[in-house]
Amino acid sequence: MLNRKVFGVVVGLSALVGASSLAHAEDVYIPLVSKGFQHQFWQAVKAGAEQGAKEHKVRITFEGPETEAMVDKQIDMLSAALAKKPQAIGIAALDSKAAIPLLRRAQAAKIPVIAFDSGVDSDIPLTTCATDNLAAAALAADKMAQAIGNAGEVGVIVHDQTSRTGIDRRDGFLNEMKSKHPNVKIVSVQYGGGDHLKSAEIAKAMIQANPNLKGIFGANEGSAEGAAIGVKESGKKVVLIGYDSGKEQKDDINSGLMAGAITQNPIGIGKCVVDSAVKALKGEKLPKKVDTGFYWYDKSNMNDPKIAAVLYD
């Protein structure tokens, strides 16, 4: 099992005075710009960040665009956050390249950048607090192959092909199937923008176009929830594997509509961002990545205390 620990520190006021020329820890402002707000996942990340802020007595804000398709709006939010001259900043990039010019500006202003959930194609972030999405999606592929008898046609619905999470979950799933389960054929990879209604339409079209389809993998909360809606409306029996652990997914797993899913540790991700930012302000060296962990969950283990602790509503 991957290490699920997040790095915590107890920060004294004197340490922050030396690191940031501020008289009080409460004066430390760390805006966090997330990928969106429409999923319960982000509310759980926000809760973890608030927990870290309370512990370290720093001030945070947490915001994101209405949907995960709004790259331009996220860039505007990042620009506005930097204009407030924060002591550090957290970013979960919708586009792994689009945010880089603004992050260069932060670097030039000596504002520590902490990436979370979805990194950027740059070494500017001092660390990235995230799930090992390649490994997690590979586990989802193994579970899918097992569920369909290691042979047959499978479709994939991903939230996007611009963020590191979208790219890594897609590639982790496809590469594992190719290398370990050669009799499983991926017949379609589609992108639904993380929107459950769009993903539902994609799932229905996928089922119609591929009458022998045995399974669908939904690579985030909206994709998985949408796939479940599409399968239900199509009336076909298809093995569903999801990602994340919002209420709808848990209900679908309990009802048998979805076989199971990968859960991340969103509260741990949020807390890690604030912990890491405070460490950076103290001048501590950070690892390039903090692996916040993941689990497979299904009907058989949802009530296991270790699993239940990282599921969210």
For residue 24, the model assigns a pLDDT of 56
Q: What is the pLDDT of residues 4-13, one digit of tens each?
A: 333 333 333 3
Cα–Cα nearest to 273, from 17, 71, 33: 33
| Strands of the 113-116 sheet, one edge to the other | 59-63, 29-33, 89-91, 113-116, 127-130, 289-291
What is the Cα–Cα distance from 82 to 111, expressed in whole angstroms?
Answer: 9
For residue 38, the model assigns a pLDDT of 73
What is the Cα–Cα distance from 286 to 304, expressed in whole angstroms?
Answer: 32
For residue 312, the model assigns a pLDDT of 78
For residue 19, the model assigns a pLDDT of 42
Helix (H, G, I), strand (E, B) or coil at 154: strand
- Class of the CATH-defined domain 133-263: alpha beta
Q: Are 52 and 114 in contact (CB under 8 A)?
A: no
For residue 21, the model assigns a pLDDT of 40
Q: Are 262 and 243 in contact (CB under 8 A)?
A: yes
Whole-prediction pTM value?
A: 0.86
- Class of the CATH-defined domain 13-131+265-293: alpha beta
Work out the number of other CB atoms within 10 angstroms of the CB of residue 232: 17
Determine the length of the chain: 313
Q: Which residue has the tokens 């030396």?
A: 18
For residue 280, the model assigns a pLDDT of 98
For residue 26, the model assigns a pLDDT of 61
What is the Cα–Cα distance from 106 to 195, expressed in whole angstroms?
Answer: 31
Residue range(s) of every CATH 3.40.50.2300 domain in the chain: 13-131+265-293, 133-263
Residue 66, Cβ density class (10 Å: 0-12 exposed, 13-18 middle, ≥19 buried): exposed
Task: Pick out the chain residues at pLDDT < 50.
Answer: 1-23
Residue 222 identity (one-letter amino acid): G
